[in-house]
Amino acid sequence: MLRPNLSAVLFDKDGTLFDFSASWTGWVDQVLTDLSAGDRARKTALAGAMQFDLQAGRFNPSSPVIAGTLDDSADLLLPHLPHLPRAELIAYLMASATRAEMVPPVPLRPLLNTLTGQGLTLGVATNDGAAAALAHLTRAGVRDCFAHVLGYDSGYTPKPAPDMLLGFADRAGVAPETVVMVGDSTHDLIAGRAAGMMTVGVLTGMAESATLEPHADLILPDIGHLPGALVRV
C-alpha cells in the first residue's frame, strides 16, 4: 500500500525513463559525424569537448552533456565550429535530438499504468527540450500517461535548480513534499531535495550508486522497481 502522503511522481527523462547510453550513444556519434563533415581532427576535438570516447563509444561519466541542456552542449562545441552561428547549432541539435531513438530500461506502459492506477499524477522534468521530450514519449507510446512534461525551455531554470520541479507541483496542484522526484543524476536529486521532494535515484544513467546516495532517499537499479519501493520512501 502506498504511503498516504504521496500524490505524484516526477521523472527525469534521459537515464531514467530511457537508458542513457543505449539511447544517446548513436545520437552523439551522428552529431559528431555531421558537424565534422569528414574532418577527423575536428571530430576528435568535438568528441573531446563533449567528453565522449570515440574508441569506446561512450560518454565519460563526468561529461557535462549528461545532465546539461542542449544550449550547454552547443557552448561546448562552438569553439571548434567558429563559422557556425550559435542559434543554427542549437536548432540542429534540437532537431537531431528529437529524432534520437530512445531505449527504455523496462516496458514503460505497464509500469506507468500501475502508478496512475494507484492514483498518482505523473510528470516529466528534463533538461532536454520540451519538444524533444514530447516526441520521445509519443514514440514510446506513453505520452498520455503524463499530466505535465517540462523541458529546460519551458520557462524554468534548468536542474539542479528546483524551479522546474516546483513548476510541476504548481501545475499539478500538489504540495512538493508529496512528490517523489526520480532521476539518474545528482542534478535531478539536488533539485528534488531543494524543492522539498522525496528523491529516488536510478542506475540507468552514467552515475554510480555512491555518487547518488548522498542526495537520495532510495537507490533503485531502474524504474521498474518503483511501485514496490514507493511504500518505503
Once rounded to an integer, what is the mean pLDDT over residues 151-180? 97
Residue 85, all three cell numbers = 552561428
How far, in Å, CA of 90 to CA of 74, rounded? 6
Q: What digits encode the pLDDT tens for the residues 112-124?
A: 999 999 999 999 9
Once rounded to an integer, what is the mean pLDDT over residues 79-97? 94
Examine the pLDDT at 3 and tell me if it is beyond 80: no
SS (H, E, C) the chain: CCCCCCCEEEECCECCCECHHHHHHHHHHHHHHHHHCCCHHHHHHHHHHCCEECCCCEECCCCCCCCCCHHHHHHHHHHHCCCCCHHHHHHHHHHHHHHCCCCCCCCHHHHHHHHHHCCCEEEEECCCCHHHHHHHHHHCCCHHHCCEEECCCCCCCCCCCCHHHHHHHHHHCCCHHHEEEEECCHHHHHHHHHCCCEEEEECCCCCCHHHHHHHCCEEECCHHHHHHHCCCC
Residue 1's pLDDT band (boundaries 50, 70, 90)? Answer: very low
Q: Are 102 and 139 in contact (CB under 8 A)?
A: yes
Average pLDDT taken over every residue of the chain: 94
| Predicted local distance difference test score (pLDDT) of residue 145 | 98
CATH superfamily of 8-19+104-229: HAD superfamily/HAD-like (3.40.50.1000)
Q: Are 185 and 165 in contact (CB under 8 A)?
A: no
Task: Give percent of the chain above pLDDT 70.
Answer: 97
* Domain segments of the chain as ranges: 8-19+104-229, 22-99
How far, in Å, CA of 219 to CA of 203, rounded? 8
- What sign does the dihedral 61-67-69-72 (CA atoms) show? negative
Provide the whole-model pTM.
0.91
Q: What digits encode the pLDDT tens for the residues 131-151?
A: 999 999 999 999 999 999 999
Examine the pLDDT at 2 and tell me if it is beyond 90: no
| Predicted local distance difference test score (pLDDT) of residue 67 | 86
Q: What digits encode the pLDDT tens for the residues 27-38?
A: 999 999 999 999
- From 101, 96, 103, select the one nearest 32 (Cα to Cα): 96
